[in-house]
């Protein structure tokens, strides 16, 4: 529901200034919306690329599955200690960006373990890194989609509510002030005629 406006010259100026600001701000919002949409598409491609990489790594690991059946506790030898992220910025939104994965695990003697353990640890590291990248990309996607939703709402608010409402207010005030001016001129002419008749 539109609020009641004053039908004055000051209010006309205020409404015209507001309209000017809205029209100035709207292109920025539209640009931000397009940038967010492009970044989300790019992110989806990156997620798919990491999924393909994980599928490839798993296929390579399955080639060694029979060998992996030997009892070796790889979790003792390799675990994720920390996933390091840095803060990036897309369209004014701070997002986490994958940095690196820091691994921990017990040291082992090569001679105490089967030959495939080194390969298994390296393959497992690559899978864990891919998992970490996927997790970070999904967090980015959530943040960007949320910001896109908010930006889209703002664009719609400006395009469908604020700008049309302000234009209507300007029009109403101009019509009212025009009518008042016309009425003043008519009243002035009538008063002048009365004065001249006396």
144 and 40 Cβ atoms separated by less than 8 Å? yes
**Host domain of residue 51:** 9-190
pLDDT surpassing 60 at residue 2? no
The number of distinct structural domains making up the chain is 1
CA distances from 159 to 12, 52, 126, 149, 162 (A): 20, 41, 48, 15, 7
- Structural domain contains residue 195: no
pLDDT surpassing 60 at residue 117? yes
pLDDT for 159? 95
- Structural domain contains residue 196: no
33 and 152 Cβ atoms separated by less than 8 Å? yes
What is the distance in angstroms between the CA of the first residue and the CA of the last residue of the chain? Answer: 52
CATH number at residue 136: 1.10.287.3240
pLDDT surpassing 80 at residue 122? yes
pLDDT for 44? 93
| 50-75 average pLDDT score | 75
Q: How confident is the model at residue 1 (pLDDT cuts 50, 70, 90)?
A: very low
- Structural domain contains residue 118: yes
Helix (H) or strand (E) holding 97: strand 93-104
- Structural domain contains residue 65: yes
- Structural domain contains residue 28: yes
């Amino acid at each position: 529901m539109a609020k009641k406006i004053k039908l004055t010259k000051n209010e006309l100026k205020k409404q015209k200034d507001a309209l000017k600001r809205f029209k100035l701000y709207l292109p920025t919002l539209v640009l931000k919306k397009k940038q967010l949409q492009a970044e989300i598409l790019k992110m989806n491609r990156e997620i798919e690329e990491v999924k393909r990489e994980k599928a490839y790594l798993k296929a390579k690991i399955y080639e060694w599955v029979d060998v992996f059946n030997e009892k070796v506790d790889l979790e003792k030898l390799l675990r994720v200690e920390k996933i390091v992220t840095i803060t990036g910025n897309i369209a004014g939104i701070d997002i986490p960006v994958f940095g690196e994965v820091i691994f921990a695990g017990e040291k082992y003697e090569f001679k105490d373990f089967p030959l495939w353990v080194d390969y298994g640890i390296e393959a497992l590291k690559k899978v864990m890194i891919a998992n970490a990248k996927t997790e970070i990309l999904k967090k980015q996607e959530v943040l960007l989609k949320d910001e896109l939703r908010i930006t889209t709402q703002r664009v719609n608010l400006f395009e469908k509510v604020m700008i049309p409402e302000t234009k209507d207010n300007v029009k109403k005030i101009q019509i009212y002030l025009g009518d008042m001016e016309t009425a003043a001129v008519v009243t002035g002419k009538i008063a002048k005629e009365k004065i001249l008749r006396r």
